[in-house]
Structure 1
Amino acid sequence: MKVGLIGFGKTGRAVASVLLESKSTNLQWVVRQSTTLEHRSVPEFLGIQSDEPGLIYSKDEFTADQLLDHMPVDAIIDFSHESGLEYYAEAAAKRGIIIVSAISHYEPAAHAKLKDLSKKTVVMHSPNITLGINFLMIAAKILKNIAPYTDIEIIEEHFRKKSEVSGTAKVIARELDLPEDAIKTVRAGGIIGTHEILFGFPYQTVRLKHEAISREAFGNGILFAVEQLIGKPSGLYSMEDLLLPYFRLQENEVETIADNRKPWWKFWIKG
């Protein structure tokens, strides 16, 4: 699958390295806001042996239509900023290109634009596209549904200079119908990102924890998402949509099914 990448910051570079090393994707180009590194080869810049072109362009060099006509792709992966949609979204949608957005937050107008684009092509948005975090959120919803009376706390840990509360922690709080003051923050050293959900039962404690060891974890999530989205009908998808089919245990036929209208869960065991 030919892919293009929007954004080339720390996370974008880590994702690019995973894409280059994957046999299922072929990195055609990277578009960034700055003209720095313009026309450099991503494999050469990252020190990765690859025959893939992966050339770096600035947004001002080409329009998205010109870029996609000259160097077509099957999917566009966005790790830039919510304003990035203005550059590529319409051009991608009218060509039926898969859009995978890992932007941490969209204002309502931008999110409405994503919904509009999803009428024309496959669109997926995930504020945190790592597999572990999305598994953690689904598991937390299941446990809360089983024991709604449980005390729940969210602890997020990040590097010392990160001032704001983790966007991922806010998403976890929202998905569990918890106030943001349920989030406890820790800032120390160079922690990339740790999120823990603590369930306090009367006679036991359950801790669900995810720790990002490196930013390449986002690349693993991208590979999973792109492979799952191939062949899907137009629509707006989340990582939860892609992961839910895997919540099936063959031995006991335990199935977890999400109601598409609301983020709550139903359980049953087939005899």
Structure 2
Amino acid sequence: MKIGLIGFGKTGKSVASILLENEKFSLEWVLRQSKVLENRSVSEFFGVESDKPGLIYSSSKTSIEELLDKHPVDVIIDFSSDNGIYTYGEIAAQKNVKIISAISHYKEKELKFLEKLSKKTTVFWSPNITLGVNYLLFAAKFLKKIAPWVDIEVNEEHFKTKQGTSGTAVKIAEALDVDRENINSVRAGGIVGKHEVIFGFPFQTVRLIHESISREAFGNGVIFVAENLKGKDKGLYNFEDILTPYFTV
């Protein structure tokens, strides 16, 4: 499967390293805003040998249309910014390229744009694309269904410079009918990401915890999603759509 990666920040780099290691995927190119590293290969950047192209391009010099014409891909993976979807969405949809967006925060405008694109191609969005945290969300929803009266608290911890409330925590809170104002946030040091759901019963407590040890976890999540989007018709998908069949006994 040929992959194009949008964004090459800390998480984007980690995802690229995982894609390079997987023989089922070919990282064709990376598109970023900065001109730094332009025309260098991702494998060269990591200092590893690879036969995958993985050249780095700057959006200030190369348009997404030009890039897709010269180096077509099956899937575009977006780890850029909340408005990055506008730079490639329409062109990707026209060319029937699948879109996997892992942007934490989208406003209503962007979500409607994703819906529009999904009329033409397969679109997937998750504010947290790690498999573990989405399993946590599934388990939490099941427990809430069993005991809808239980007390629930949502905690999230991230690195000191992370802005705003975790998009994943917001999604968990919404799924469990917890007010967004009741999400407890901690910003300290270099914590990659930790989410905890506390279920307070009268005589017992259940805690569901997911902790990202390394950003490579996002790369594993991307691979899981890409493999499960094979054969999917055009439409807008989320992790629940992908995980539900696995919970069928």
Q: TM-score normalised to the size of structure 2?
A: 0.97
Paired letter, 1:115? E
What is the match of residue 56 of structure 1?
A: 56
**Which amino acid in structure 1 is aligned with residue 14 of structure 2?**
A
CA distance in 1: counterparts of 2:212 and 2:26, whole angstroms: 25
Deviations 1:111-152 (A, max 9, x none): 111101101110000000000111111111110011001000
Q: What residue number does 1:174 align with? A: 174
- Closer/same/farther in 2, CA of residues 161 and 76 from structure 1, 3 Å limit: closer
Length, aligned pairs only:
249
Instruction: Go from structure 1 to structure 2 and tell me whether the alpha carbon gap of 1:156 and 1:33 turns closer, same or farther (over 3 Å shift).
Output: same
Q: Write the deviation string for residues 23-53 of structure 1: whole angstroms up to 9, x where unpaired.
A: 1110000000111111111011012221101
Q: Deviations along 1:69-100, whole A, 9 cap, x unmatched?
A: 10000000000012212211111111111100
Q: Does 1:3 align with 2:3?
A: yes
Match of 2:42 in 1: 42
State how 1:117-266 maps to structure 2 within 5 Å.
117-162=117-162, 164-248=164-248, 253=249
Of structures 1 and 2, the larger Rg is shown by: 1
Amino acid at match of 2:25: T
In structure 2, the partner of 1:66 is: 66
Letter in 2 for 1:10: K
- 1:157 aligned counterpart, secondary structure: strand
Alignment correspondent of 1:266: none
- Which residue in the other structure is 2:14 paired with? 14
Which runs of 5 or more residues in structure 1 are unaligned? 254-271
RMSD (CA atoms): 1.2
For the residue of structure 2 that corresponds to 1:82, the secondary structure is coil
C-alpha distance in 2 between matches for 1:94 and 1:191: 39
Does the 8 Å CA contact 1:17/1:48 hold for their aligned counterparts? no
Distance 1:105 1:76 in 2: 18
Supply the distance in 1 between the matched residues of 2:193 and 2:24 (Cα, whole angstroms).
28
SS at match of 2:83: helix
Find the counterpart in structure 2 of residue 257 from structure 1.
Answer: none
Mapped to 1, the partners of 2:102 and 2:163 lie a distance apart of: 21
Determine what percentage of the aligned residue pairs are the same residue. Answer: 59
Q: Structure 1's 82 and 188: CA in aligned 2 closer, same or farther, altered over 3 A?
A: closer
Take 1:187 and 1:76, find their aligned partners in 2: how far apart are those partners?
A: 31
CA–CA separation in structure 2 for the residues paired with 1:209 and 1:87: 36
Q: Distance in 2 between matches of 1:147 and 1:234?
A: 36
1:163 deviation in Å?
5.0
Q: 1:187 to 1:88 in 2, by over 3 A?
A: closer
Query: 2:178 & 2:109 partners in 1: Cα distance?
Result: 25
